[in-house]
Amino acid sequence: MQVNTPQQEKFSKAIFRKILVPFDNSKMSDRAFWHAINLNFKHKSEIIILSVFHSEQYSSSFLNYNTHQTIIEQKKLNEVKIKHKKLKEISEECGIPCRTFVATSSSITQTVMSYVYSTKADLVIMGTRGNGSDRKLMLGSVSLEISQNAPIPVLLVK
């Protein structure tokens, strides 16, 4: 007979009402979204998809932005908005409510943590690495920092 710790008991009885999925259009963030969908078949939670664009424009006092860089960022933003629309449609076809957000910030981690609080999320599901991570690393810096500092459970998907 297995005996659960009080923390395991609390986690096993948890009903996740709001699941935050940080999404960077990588394969791992796609997997995180599908884990959120599968988990929701049991709990019928709301999925909150958040994409945060890192912008040096917000982290530097030098604001003379290269036009080429701006065009690339706008293209990525449009791609993510299209993907958000598709993910929202999939979620709603499964009977799962979904909201999407896009933010630009000098700190992806701080922005994700801010959304954890502002959306009152109960769970974060995210990839172990995103588009910006070195493939040799087991865990990206954003997922590592969020998993260590979030006040709620974090499910990392590889």
Phi, psi (deg, nearest 5) at residue 65: -85, 135
Q: What is the pLDDT of residue 134?
A: 46
Burial 127-142 (b: 16+ CB within 10 A, else e): bbbbeebeeeeeebeb
% pLDDT > 70, the chain:
76
Measure the CA–CA gap between 84 and 23, rounded to whole angstroms. Answer: 9
Q: Where are the beta strands (DSSP E) in the chain?
A: 18-22, 46-54, 98-105, 123-127, 154-157
- Across-strand partners of 19? 47, 123
* Across 133-156, average pLDDT: 81
- What domains appear along the chain, each with residue ranges and CATH number? 20-157 (3.40.50.620)
| Helix H or strand E segment including 11 | helix 6-13
Query: What's at 28, amino acid-wise?
Result: M
Cβ neighbours around 28 below 10 Å, total: 21
Q: Where are the beta strands (DSSP E) in 89-153?
A: 98-105, 123-127
* Across 45-69, average pLDDT: 71
pLDDT band at residue 5, thresholds of 50, 70 and 90?
Answer: low
**Tens-place pLDDT, residues 117-138:** 999 999 999 999 766 544 444 5
Per-residue pLDDT at 62 exceeds 80 = no
**Tens-place pLDDT, residues 67-106:** 666 777 788 889 999 999 999 999 999 999 999 999 999 8
Burial zone of 20 (CB within 10 Å; 0-12 exposed, 13-18 middle, 19+ buried): buried
